[in-house]
């Protein structure tokens, strides 16, 4: 997203934001921060620029640093631009013990990028994250709203081809708002 672009939610999104904020008592609007960051990330190209985070702070009448602290703490928020397909591989204990490091390495080789990088065509970003809650089917990853479990190198190859053919942004918030 260009920083010169006006940062403003669409009318529909702003109505959703206002309904969400009204769920909390007067003076407690900061309680809406996590879902607002999800909405902002979905609305503004899949990541939270400083200008977008400042905008969220204004809406909630809080200090920008309060937004930055939260956005930088959780791996579910992207503080840099990401590819159309954000591949998030779980790296916690159960996934690690069942080969998530090998899966990450395979993605790196197949895509020609390292964790935290985006392919030159802007299609894929590879990220490691903490628990995605599927320990019994480890190793696993999330791409948009879809989970892929019991991963093998062959399954990764099939997934990459499927995502290349699909060619669309894999963010889940645009289609499945949590509000």
Contact 19, 179 (CB under 8 A): yes
- Bridge partners of 126, per DSSP, are 87
pLDDT of residue 4: 45
Q: At residue 176, does pLDDT exceed 70?
A: no
Model confidence pLDDT, tens digit, residues 44-59:
989 999 999 999 999 9
68 and 94 both lie in a single domain: no
Q: Domain range spanning residue 113?
A: 85-166
Q: How confident is the model at residue 63 (pLDDT cuts 50, 70, 90)?
A: very high
Q: Does the pLDDT of residue 6 top 60, yes or no?
A: yes
Residue 72: pLDDT over 60: yes
Q: Check whether residue 29 and residue 98 sit in a common domain.
A: no
Residues 69 and 92 occupy one common structural domain: no
Domain identity same for 89 and 156:
yes
Map tokens 């003076």 to a residue.
27
Residue 166's pLDDT is 83
pTM score of the predicted model: 0.80
Domain assignment present for residue 99? The answer is yes
Instruction: Give residue 99's pLDDT.
Output: 95
CATH number of domain containing 19: 1.10.10
Give the rounded percent of residues in the chain with a pLDDT score beyond 70: 90
List binding-site positions for [2Fe-2S] cluster: 90, 95, 131, 135
95 contacts 138 by C-beta, under 8 angstroms: yes
Residue 3 Cα distances to 11, 43, 49, 107, 154, angstroms = 20, 14, 8, 31, 40
Whether the predicted pLDDT of 154 surpasses 80: yes
CA-CA distance, 13 to 85, in Å (whole number)?
Answer: 23
Q: Closest Cα partner for 52 from 10, 61, 43? A: 43
In a domain, 44, yes or no: yes
**C-alpha to C-alpha distances, 72 to 49, 79, 93, 162, nearest whole angstrom:** 11, 7, 23, 31
**51 and 123: one domain?**
no
- The mean per-residue pLDDT over the stretch 141-159 comes to 95
């Amino acid at each position: 997203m260009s920083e010169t672009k006006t940062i403003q939610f669409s009318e529909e999104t702003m109505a959703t934001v206002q309904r969400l904020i009204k769920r909390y008592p007067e003076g407690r609007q900061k309680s809406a921060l996590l879902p607002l960051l999800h909405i902002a990330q979905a609305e503004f190209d899949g990541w939270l620029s400083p200008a977008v985070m400042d905008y969220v702070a204004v809406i909630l009448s809080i200090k920008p640093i309060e937004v930055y602290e939260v956005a930088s703490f959780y791996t579910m928020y992207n503080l840099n631009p990401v590819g159309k397909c954000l591949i998030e591989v779980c790296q916690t204990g159960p996934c690690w013990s069942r080969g998530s490091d090998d899966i990450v390495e395979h993605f790196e080789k197949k895509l020609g990028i390292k964790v935290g990088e985006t392919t030159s065509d802007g299609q894929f970003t590879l990220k490691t994250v903490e628990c995605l809650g599927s320990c019994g089917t480890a190793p696993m990853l999330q791409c948009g709203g879809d989970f892929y479990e019991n991963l093998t190198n062959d399954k990764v190859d099939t997934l990459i081809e499927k995502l290349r053919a699909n060619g669309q942004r894999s963010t889940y918030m645009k289609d499945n708002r949590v509000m």
